[in-house]
């Protein structure tokens, strides 16, 4: 169907200002948080109701037009990159909190609701929504479901998949599926898990029921400094080995602490090769007990400096440096490349050592700030795109890091998603048989392959080069959002 | 390893072409041989369209729709045993699906760890494979998470005999669709599970069980109220006007919570929760139909003629129809679905109705399409979950 014909079909049930097709109107939608990839969509639609979403999908299904769903557009893997011959379906106008059940501790919300807005709305009941991706002030819950978003606290509180109960999903055929329920389990296949992290490839989520949990009474953080990164890695294992599941456990190497300290003055030990932030939360008694044990473990793990936050201001100060790490990388280097691999924790020291060796081999600095508790690495390769050949070297370096992650039994993406960015690396992680199953699952929901085509799962013939998050001169799409 | 030539093993080992079973023992050279033989069995069954009944230790034979035992062959992996990888500091255990659940739990206990979802065994033979395929969780579920929340990765054979790996051994992994969780609770209808990676948890330093007298409506209200507060509750059970709670965590936290909540401390807490999990408690001793009603935790008492036992902070209600009374499956199902829940005929299906709450037609169509992709000929546990699958 020609663009104008499609526009006319959509305008039968949508007002003109919600169906955009003029080039200047389409521009804001040409990329998400991964701004290195850009594509102007054919049409942008902004439905206000579920009924409008269904009608849009029916038009697309009948005319075989590709559909790319978009939430707040903060994703880091290009999952919402538009299709040149497709419709970009923005769910930004579906932003109502429909119901809060403070007794059963659930909230029913539309996909455009911001992650943090849910916690803000239920704070009055002493409850909150646990997953806290770094972009939580801006990212939408619909996008969180599409990417299975995590955050600093997921070691203890889980990812999006662990914190949602029910979805209303519209299929490309315009049918409504109610998946999951307000009860704790439903019979049949676990489509709730299948939909979570499916990157808009299986259906369009129009309503989400999330689980709310009580706010912990207290939170405290221990900051431990080490003169050897291997000792810091051992300390991580020692904490877990002692039967403690910290609310968060983050590591920064020397390059990182030096980069952030200049801007944030968090009070990090600049002599240290690595620092660990280890947070405990829960009841007052639990936290007291755990903080004491964490302190002892850090001592036994040969930390050279251990400090515990004495109040909320100090706790936030300790965290401020960690949260400012990505922007700081952009300040100390013209460009940086961010990777997102997860590895079994026991291989942390080995992989970090490997990264160090590669860093010398390639003559490029690499800053490590990451979720040590769940082995989710975010190596930031510092480089200068204006130096001939440096970008290519960086890409090779990054590719080798991800290969190392796969070699030690890890994964190419812990929380940023595959999107368009890591589509090629999927071939390194999965064999033909698994990729065939992924395509088969996609076909079960979307036989014509109209939903977000070309993302998340590579076609079998496309198993070629590697890619990574590319940030030029700190020009992120949302430079103000903390990234951690 | 020596294995006698029983029928199930013959099938698994792909010797169905032998006319006469002999008493000969067979030495399995390696675990790889077992997989090769299972692959072969699946391929032969697919070729001949012979249904296969996947079975571990047989402890959950009672669960799900009946499969015609005469027209199906048994496919078992009880010889595929052992822990593949376990490092306590990783909080991850990878094991072969034939491994007895009891062995895994014993190994974890030696390192002060546990399976957080507290799976019911329902018999000494319970295997890891059956545990994951049935998808059942125990008393800790509402507070710590369900089995599906702990499954990180699977190795499996699909209905074509393809050896596939999904997920992995790490907590955070968003590469590809979440097939590992899709397999959890799929009752063996999508594939034969070979290996599973599970997230494990540290054992709480102490546990304390307390009990208080209360009426059902008040108990439901209290359980919901407490779940909204930062209290270390790890299990609840209401039965016979008594609410029993378990507190787990650091001693100081548990003692502080006990002071806040009150009640009487029970000496044999371990035994009590075991009787709830394994259904050896008095309530379950009945040959009448046992219904498992999954509802929103805050739903007021369900008016059904018989006895109920409530777990999971109000979200799981077991129901047995009263003596000398009978209740139609549709009545139970409409009573639960009218409050947004679902009803499973867990044990003693005397009415030959669908064990699992029937989904809508749109949903069953999606299920059917998924099943067809994993098992095109429809040989894996046909109709164990739904007649259409």
Instruction: Say if the Cβ atoms of B184 and A190 lie within 8 Å.
Output: yes
Same domain, B198 and B246: no
Provide the mean pLDDT of chain B.
91
Q: What are the chain B neighbours of A103 within 8 Å (beta carbons)?
A: 224-225, 228, 298
B287: helix, strand or coil:
coil
B144 touches chain A (CB under 8 A): no
Q: What are the chain A neighbours of B227 within 8 Å (beta carbons)?
A: 105, 214
B338 touches chain A (CB under 8 A): no
Same domain, B139 and B230: no
pTM recorded for the entire structure: 0.92
Instruction: Say if the Cβ atoms of A190 and B374 lie within 8 Å.
Output: no
Q: What pLDDT score was predicted for residue B8?
A: 39
Q: What are the chain B neighbours of A412 within 8 Å (beta carbons)?
A: 175
* Helix extents (H) in A242-347: 254-264, 284-300, 312-323, 325-332
pLDDT-derived band at A151 (thresholds 50, 70, 90) equals: confident
Same domain, B198 and B210: no
In B118-250, which ranges are E strands?
A: 151-157, 163-167, 192-199, 201-202, 206-213, 233-239, 242-249
What would the pLDDT profile of A231-261 be if each residue is shown by its tens digit? 999 999 999 999 999 999 999 999 999 999 9
Q: Which chain A residue has its CA at the smallest distance from B111's CA?
A: A241
Structure tokens that stand for A389 in this block: 């050949």
With a cut of 80, say whether residue A51 has pLDDT above it.
yes
Instruction: Say if the Cβ atoms of A148 and B312 lie within 8 Å.
Output: no
Q: Which of B177, B203, B229 is the last residue of a domain?
A: B203
Mutation target among B86, B176, B310 for the A interface, most CBs of A within 10 A: B176
List all residues 6 or more positions away from A62 whose beta carbon is below 8 Å from its beta carbon.
none
With a cut of 70, say whether residue B201 has pLDDT above it.
yes
Q: Which chain B residue has its CA at the smallest distance from A151's CA?
A: B172
Structure tokens that stand for A165 in this block: 């109960």
pLDDT-derived band at B29 (thresholds 50, 70, 90) equals: low
Q: Where are the domains of chain A?
A: 3-90, 97-214, 218-323
What would the pLDDT profile of B185-199 be if each residue is shown by its tens digit? 999 999 999 999 999
Q: What pLDDT score was predicted for residue B13?
A: 37
Measure in Å the smallest separation between the Cα of A191 and chain B Cα atoms. Answer: 7
Q: What pLDDT score was predicted for residue A149?
A: 94
Q: What are the chain A neighbours of B87 within 8 Å (beta carbons)?
A: 344, 346
Measure in Å the smallest separation between the Cα of B283 and chain A Cα atoms. Answer: 22
What would the pLDDT profile of B279-322 be if each residue is shown by its tens digit? 999 999 999 999 999 999 999 999 999 999 999 999 999 999 98
Same domain, B225 and B286: yes
Q: What pLDDT score was predicted for residue A331?
A: 87
- A254, A320, A371 from A264: Cα distances, Å: 15, 7, 20
pLDDT-derived band at A262 (thresholds 50, 70, 90) equals: confident
SS3 content of chain A, % helix, strand, coil (to 5): 35, 20, 40
Q: What pLDDT score was predicted for residue B76?
A: 84
Q: Report the alpha-carbon distance of residue B70 to residue B178 in Å, rounded.
A: 35
Q: What are the chain B neighbours of A171 within 8 Å (beta carbons)?
A: 362, 366
- For domain A3-90, which CATH number applies: 3.50.50.60, 3.30.43.10, 3.30.565.10, 3.90.1150.10? 3.30.43.10
With a cut of 80, say whether residue A305 has pLDDT above it.
yes
Same domain, B116 and B21: yes
Note the maximum CA span of chain A: 71
Note the maximum CA span of chain B: 70
Q: Is residue B246 part of a domain?
A: yes
Q: Is residue B191 part of a domain?
A: yes
CATH number for the domain running over A218-323: 3.30.70.2190
Measure in Å the smallest separation between the Cα of B34 and chain A Cα atoms. Answer: 20
What would the pLDDT profile of B116-155 be if each residue is shown by its tens digit? 999 999 999 999 999 999 999 999 999 999 999 999 999 9
Q: What are the chain A neighbours of B340 within 8 Å (beta carbons)?
A: 181-183
Q: What are the chain B neighbours of A240 within 8 Å (beta carbons)?
A: 88-91
What would the pLDDT profile of A309-329 be if each residue is shown by its tens digit? 999 999 999 998 888 888 888
Q: Which chain B residue has its CA at the smallest distance from A416's CA?
A: B174
Instruction: Say if the Cβ atoms of A375 and B170 lie within 8 Å.
Output: yes
Same domain, B78 and B53: yes
Same domain, B270 and B184: no
B316 touches chain A (CB under 8 A): yes
Q: Which chain A residue has its CA at the smallest distance from B376's CA?
A: A440
| Average pLDDT estimate for A453-470 | 68
ipTM over 0.90: yes
With a cut of 60, say whether residue B9 has pLDDT above it.
no
DSSP for A369-404 reads: EEEGGGTEE-EEEEE-TTSTTHHHHHHHHHHHHHHH
Instruction: Let me know: does B140 contact B316? Beta carbons within 8 Å.
Output: no
Q: What are the chain B neighbours of A102 within 8 Å (beta carbons)?
A: 228
CB-defined contacts A:B, below 8 A: 267
B4: helix, strand or coil:
coil
Same domain, B191 and B214: no
What would the pLDDT profile of B173-183 be if each residue is shown by its tens digit? 999 999 999 99
Measure in Å the smallest separation between the Cα of A242 and chain B Cα atoms. Answer: 8
What would the pLDDT profile of B56-103 be if each residue is shown by its tens digit? 999 999 999 987 777 778 898 899 999 999 999 999 999 999 999 999
Instruction: Say if the Cβ atoms of A191 and B366 lie within 8 Å.
Output: yes
Provide the mean pLDDT of chain A.
92
* Helix extents (H) in chain B: 7-13, 31-48, 101-110, 128-134, 141-144, 147-150, 179-183, 216-227, 251-261, 269-277, 329-337, 361-374
| Average pLDDT estimate for A80-99 | 97
List all residues 6 or more positions away from B240 whose beta carbon is below 8 Å from its beta carbon.
B283
Q: Report the alpha-carbon distance of residue B242 to residue A365 in Å, rounded.
A: 64
Same domain, B310 and B321: yes
Instruction: Let me know: does B88 contact B111? Beta carbons within 8 Å.
Output: yes
- A203, A421, A443 from A449: Cα distances, Å: 11, 19, 7
Instruction: Let me know: does B171 contact A412? Beta carbons within 8 Å.
Output: no
For A103, which of B171, B298, B360 is closest by C-beta distance?
B298
With a cut of 90, say whether residue B352 has pLDDT above it.
no
Same domain, B116 and B12: yes
The total number of structural domains that make up chain B = 2
Top CATH class, A97-214: alpha beta
| Helices A229-241 + A348-362 axis angle, to 10 | 160
What would the pLDDT profile of A406-447 be if each residue is shown by its tens digit? 999 899 999 899 998 888 888 888 988 999 999 999 999 999
Say which residue, A391 or A105, is predicted with more confidence. Answer: A105
Under DSSP, the state recorded for B100 is: B
List all residues 6 or more positions away from A253 whose beta carbon is below 8 Å from its beta carbon.
A229, A273, A274, A352, A367, A368, A369
Q: What pLDDT score was predicted for residue A253?
A: 95
Q: Is residue B363 part of a domain?
A: no
With a cut of 60, say whether residue A224 has pLDDT above it.
yes
Q: Report the alpha-carbon distance of residue B80 to residue B30 in Å, rounded.
A: 10
Q: Is residue B376 part of a domain?
A: no
Instruction: Say if the Cβ atoms of B356 and A181 lie within 8 Å.
Output: no
Same domain, B76 and B96: yes
Instruction: Say if the Cβ atoms of A105 and B224 lie within 8 Å.
Output: yes
With a cut of 50, say whether residue A281 has pLDDT above it.
yes
Same domain, B172 and B65: yes
B110 touches chain A (CB under 8 A): no
Q: What are the chain B neighbours of A169 within 8 Å (beta carbons)?
A: none
Domain limits at B41?
1-203
Instruction: Say if the Cβ atoms of A434 and B165 lie within 8 Å.
Output: yes
Q: What pLDDT score was predicted for residue B2?
A: 32
Q: Is residue B254 part of a domain?
A: yes
B342 touches chain A (CB under 8 A): yes
Instruction: Say if the Cβ atoms of A346 and B149 lie within 8 Å.
Output: no
Q: Which of B173, B203, B233 is the last residue of a domain?
A: B203
Mutation target among A184, A240, A378 for the B interface, most CBs of B within 10 A: A184
Quick one: which of B185, B190, B184, B165 has its CA closest to B380? Answer: B190
Phi and psi torsions of A111, nearest 5°? -65, -25
Residue B124 maps to which CATH number?
3.30.465.10
| Average pLDDT estimate for B25-29 | 45
Instruction: Say if the Cβ atoms of A183 and B91 lie within 8 Å.
Output: no
């Amino acid at each position: 169907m020609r663009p104008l014909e499609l526009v006319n079909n959509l305008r039968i049930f949508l007002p003109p200002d919600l169906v955009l097709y003029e080039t200047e109107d389409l521009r804001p939608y040409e990329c998400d948080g991964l701004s290195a990839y850009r594509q102007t969509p054919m049409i942008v639609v902004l439905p206000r109701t579920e009924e409008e979403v269904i009608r849009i999908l029916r038009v697309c299904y009948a005319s075989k037009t590709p559909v790319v769903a978009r939430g707040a557009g903060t994703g880091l893997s290009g999952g919402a990159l538009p299709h040149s011959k497709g419709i970009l379906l923005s769910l930004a106008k579906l932003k109502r909190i429909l119901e809060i059940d403070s007794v059963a501790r659930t909230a029913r919300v539309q996909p455009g609701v911001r992650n943090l807005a849910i916690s803000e709305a239920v704070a009055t009941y002493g409850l909150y929504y646990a997953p806290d991706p770094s972009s939580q002030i801006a990212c939408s819950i619909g996008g969180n479901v599409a990417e299975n978003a995590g955050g600093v606290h997921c070691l203890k509180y889980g990812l999006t998949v662990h914190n949602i109960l029910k979805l209303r999903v519209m299929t490309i055929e315009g049918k409504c599926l109610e998946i999951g329920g307000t009860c704790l389990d439903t019979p049949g296949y676990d489509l709730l898990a299948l939909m979570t992290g499916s990157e808009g490839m299986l259906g369009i989520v129009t309503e989400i029921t999330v689980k709310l949990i009580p706010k912990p009474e207290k939170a405290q953080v221990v900051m431990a400094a080490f003169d050897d990164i291997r000792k810091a890695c051992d300390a991580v294992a020692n904490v877990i080995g002692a039967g403690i599941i910290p609310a968060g456990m983050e590591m920064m190497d020397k390059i990182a602490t030096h980069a952030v300290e200049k801007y944030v003055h968090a009070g990090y030990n600049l002599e240290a090769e690595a620092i660990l932030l280890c947070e405990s939360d829960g009841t007052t008694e639990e936290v007291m007990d755990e903080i004491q044990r964490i302190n002892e473990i850090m001592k036994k793990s040969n930390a050279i400096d251990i400090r515990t936050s004495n109040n909320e201001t100090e706790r936030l100060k300790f965290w401020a440096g960690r949260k400012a790490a990505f922007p700081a990388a952009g300040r100390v280097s013209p460009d940086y490349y961010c990777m997102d691999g997860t590895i079994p924790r026991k291989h942390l020291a080995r992989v970090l050592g490997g990264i160090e060796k590669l860093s010398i081999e390639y003559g490029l600095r690499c800053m490590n700030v990451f979720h040590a508790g769940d082995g989710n690495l975010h190596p930031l390769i510092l480089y200068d795109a204006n130096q001939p050949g440096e970008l290519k070297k960086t890409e090779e370096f990054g590719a080798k890091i991800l290969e190392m992650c796969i070699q030690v039994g890890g994964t190419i993406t812990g929380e940023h998603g595959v999107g368009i960015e890591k589509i090629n690396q999927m071939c390194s992680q999965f064999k033909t048989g698994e990729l065939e199953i992924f395509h088969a699952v996609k076909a079960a929901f979307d036989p014509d392959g109209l939903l977000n085509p070309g993302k998340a799962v590579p076609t079998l013939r496309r198993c070629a080069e590697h890619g990574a998050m590319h940030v030029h001169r700190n020009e992120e799409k949302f430079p103000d959002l903390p990234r951690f | 390893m020596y294995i006698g030539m029983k029928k199930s093993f013959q099938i698994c080992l792909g010797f169905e072409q032998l006319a006469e079973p002999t008493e000969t023992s067979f030495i399995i050279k390696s675990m790889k041989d077992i997989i090769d033989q299972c692959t072969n069995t699946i391929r032969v069954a697919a070729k001949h369209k012979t249904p296969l009944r996947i079975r571990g230790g047989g402890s959950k034979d009672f669960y799900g729709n009946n499969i015609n035992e005469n027209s199906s062959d048994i496919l078992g992996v009880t010889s595929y045993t052992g822990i593949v990888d376990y490092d306590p500091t990783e909080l991850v255990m990878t094991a072969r699906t034939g491994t007895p659940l009891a062995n895994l739990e014993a190994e974890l206990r030696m390192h002060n760890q546990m399976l957080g979802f507290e799976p019911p065994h329902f018999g000494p033979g319970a295997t890891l494979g059956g545990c994951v395929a049935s998808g059942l969780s125990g008393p800790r579920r509402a507070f710590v998470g369900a089995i599906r929340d702990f499954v990180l990765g699977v190795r499996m054979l699909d209905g074509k005999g393809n050896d596939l790996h999904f997920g992995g051994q790490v907590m955070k992994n968003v590469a590809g669709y979440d097939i590992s969780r899709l397999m959890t609770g799929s009752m063996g209808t999508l594939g034969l599970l070979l290996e599973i990676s599970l997230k494990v948890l540290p054992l709480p330093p102490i546990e304390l069980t307390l009990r208080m007298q209360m009426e059902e409506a008040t108990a439901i209200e209290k359980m919901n109220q407490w779940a909204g507060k930062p209290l270390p509750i790890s299990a609840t059970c209401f039965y016979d006007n008594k609410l029993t709670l378990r507190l787990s965590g650091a001693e100081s936290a548990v003692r502080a919570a006990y002071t806040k909540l009150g009640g009487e401390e029970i000496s044999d807490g371990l035994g009590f929760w075991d009787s709830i999990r394994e259904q050896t408690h008095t309530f379950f001793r009945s040959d009448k139909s046992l219904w498992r009603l999954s509802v929103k935790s805050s739903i007021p008492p369900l008016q059904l003629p018989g006895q109920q036992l409530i777990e999971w902070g109000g979200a799981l209600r077991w129901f047995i129809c009263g003596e000398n009374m009978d209740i139609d499956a549709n009545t139970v199902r409409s009573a639960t679905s009218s409050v947004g829940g679902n009803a499973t005929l867990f044990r003693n299906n005397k009415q030959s109705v669908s064990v699992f709450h029937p989904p809508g037609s749109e949903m069953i169509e999606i299920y059917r399409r998924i099943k067809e992709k994993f098992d095109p000929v429809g040989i894996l546990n046909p109709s164990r979950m739904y007649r259409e699958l």
